[in-house]
């Protein structure tokens, strides 16, 4: 005889749930907090603080020959712009810089495309970058003067050298990081050689390419200024580096700082007007960069 036990009865309880309380909507942050969230405002505050520290140190030192104040430098900068001398020097330097920069970009992409599509090109790129990338561009200036003479050709030579190797390394590192699935997808569509590089590798490696472009620009800019400090007269009128060198010889220290300020301003403009919008329209929009 089997004994069947009834299942235990679970006790039931009723709980009264209080109605949810409506929370007031969070008030909008105050105007100062919303303004502080803007990166341009934070950077402007940093620049103002640096200018204030500069002014204070210059007044404490009280030696205009060694360190002019920020206001003196600003006055010299405004006077140079108003007289047209500083824009003319900047125009000469930028004309040479853009020529050398574009030539370096073309050479770097040609070398990198060859390395990405052929084994011998890869060996060539690795060998050349190992040889010439550690070599400072300004160290080639004596050879440039010997080969191309005193003029624009020598400046273009050292600028191309400054741009070529960091950009080629950055682009090649980006190509190496492209996943094999993307490469196979491109080959399934019949892409190979240069078409594979342009349609698959370049878009996928764009963050590294943009980094290489920015590094190449910085190297080219500092190389040009350093070369102009040595001999930078082209076409009868020197560039920005020569402007700094001449005023240093004449002990116009405020004009020297004004020339340096022009170098900094151009760098900031290129970064915020050229490279940052380019990153926003491409890699940030595609979710490849924060």
Distance CA 112, CA 178 (A): 14
- Give bridge partners of residue 238 from the DSSP assignment: 233
Which class for 33: exposed (0-12), middle (13-18), buried (19 or more C-beta within 10 A)? exposed
- Indicate the domain borders of the chain: 71-286
At 26 the pLDDT is 47
Q: Return the structure tokens found at 195.
A: 């078409």
* Residue 66 scores a pLDDT above 50: yes
C-beta contacts of 253-258 below 8 A and 24+ residues apart = 253/64, 253/65, 253/66, 253/67, 253/68, 254/64, 254/68, 254/72, 254/73, 254/75, 254/76, 255/76, 255/80, 257/68, 257/73, 257/76, 258/73, 258/76, 258/77, 258/80, 258/86
Mean pLDDT to the nearest integer, 122-141: 85
* Residue 78 scores a pLDDT above 60: yes
More confident residue, 15 or 47: 47
Residues 6+ apart with CB under 8 A from 200: 178, 182, 183, 185, 186, 191
Instruction: Give the C-alpha distances (Å, rounded to integers) separating 262 from 78, 180, 243, 246, 253.
Output: 11, 45, 11, 15, 14
Considering only 2-16, 47-61, 77-91, which range has the smallest mean pLDDT?
2-16
CB 75 within 8 A of CB 254: yes
- Give bridge partners of residue 237 from the DSSP assignment: 234
CB 156 within 8 A of CB 103: yes
CB 154 within 8 A of CB 91: no
Residues 6+ apart with CB under 8 A from 190: none
At 208 the pLDDT is 81
Considering only 114-118, 127-131, 260-264, 280-284, which range has the smallest mean pLDDT?
280-284
Residue 132: which pLDDT band, with cuts at 50, 70 and 90? Answer: confident
Considering only 1-5, 181-185, 268-272, which range has the smallest mean pLDDT?
1-5
Helix axes 85-117, 119-132, angle to 10 degrees: 140
The percent of residues in the chain predicted with pLDDT above 70, rounded, is 83
Instruction: Give the C-alpha distances (Å, rounded to integers) separating 85 from 70, 90, 91.
Output: 20, 9, 10
Mean pLDDT to the nearest integer, 64-84: 86
At 93 the pLDDT is 85
Task: Give the DSSP H or E segment for 9.
Answer: none
SS3 at position 37 = coil
Q: Return the structure tokens found at 118.
A: 């052929």
Up-side HSE of residue 189: CA atoms within 13 Å toward CB? 11
* Residue 23 scores a pLDDT above 60: no
224-280 pLDDT, tens digit each: 888 887 765 544 567 888 888 888 888 888 888 988 888 888 888 888 888 887 777
More confident residue, 256 or 35: 256
Strands (E), the chain: 233-234, 237-238
At 235 the pLDDT is 46
194-235 pLDDT, tens digit each: 777 777 777 777 888 888 888 888 888 888 888 887 765 544
With tokens 């084994």, the residue in question is 119
Mean pLDDT of the chain: 80
DSSP codes joined into one string, 87-119: HHHHHHHHHHHHHHHHHHHHHHHHHHHHHHH-H
* Architecture of the domain whose range is 71-286: Orthogonal Bundle (1.10)
* Residue 151 scores a pLDDT above 80: no
The percent of residues in the chain predicted with pLDDT above 90, rounded, is 1
């Amino acid at each position: 005889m089997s004994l069947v036990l009834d299942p235990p009865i679970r006790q039931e309880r009723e709980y009264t749930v209080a109605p949810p309380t409506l929370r007031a909507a969070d008030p909008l942050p105050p105007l100062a907090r919303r303004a502080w969230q803007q990166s341009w405002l934070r950077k402007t505050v940093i620049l103002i603080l640096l200018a204030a520290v500069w002014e204070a140190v210059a007044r404490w030192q009280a030696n205009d020959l060694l360190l002019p104040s920020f206001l003196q430098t600003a006055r010299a900068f405004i006077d140079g712009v108003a007289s047209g001398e500083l824009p003319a020097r900047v125009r000469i330097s930028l004309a040479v810089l853009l020529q050398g920069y574009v030539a370096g970009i073309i050479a770097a992409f040609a070398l990198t495309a060859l390395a990405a599509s052929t084994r011998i090109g890869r060996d060539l790129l690795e060998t050349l970058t190992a040889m010439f990338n550690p070599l400072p561009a300004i160290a080639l200036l004596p050879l440039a003067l010997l080969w191309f003479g005193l003029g624009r050709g020598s400046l273009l030579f050292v600028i191309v050298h400054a741009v070529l190797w960091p950009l080629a390394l950055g682009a090649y590192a980006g190509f190496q990081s492209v996943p094999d699935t993307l490469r196979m997808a491109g080959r399934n569509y019949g892409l190979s050689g240069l078409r594979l590089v342009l349609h698959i590798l370049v878009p996928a490696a764009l963050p590294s390419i943009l980094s290489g472009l920015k590094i190449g620009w910085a190297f080219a800019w500092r190389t040009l200024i350093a070369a102009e400090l040595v001999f930078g007269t082209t076409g009868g009128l020197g560039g920005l580096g020569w402007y700094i060198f001449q005023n240093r010889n004449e002990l116009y220290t405020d004009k020297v700082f004004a020339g340096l300020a022009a170098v900094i301003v151009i760098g900031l403009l290129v970064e915020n007007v050229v490279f940052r919008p380019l990153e926003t329209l491409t890699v940030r929009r595609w979710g490849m960069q924060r």
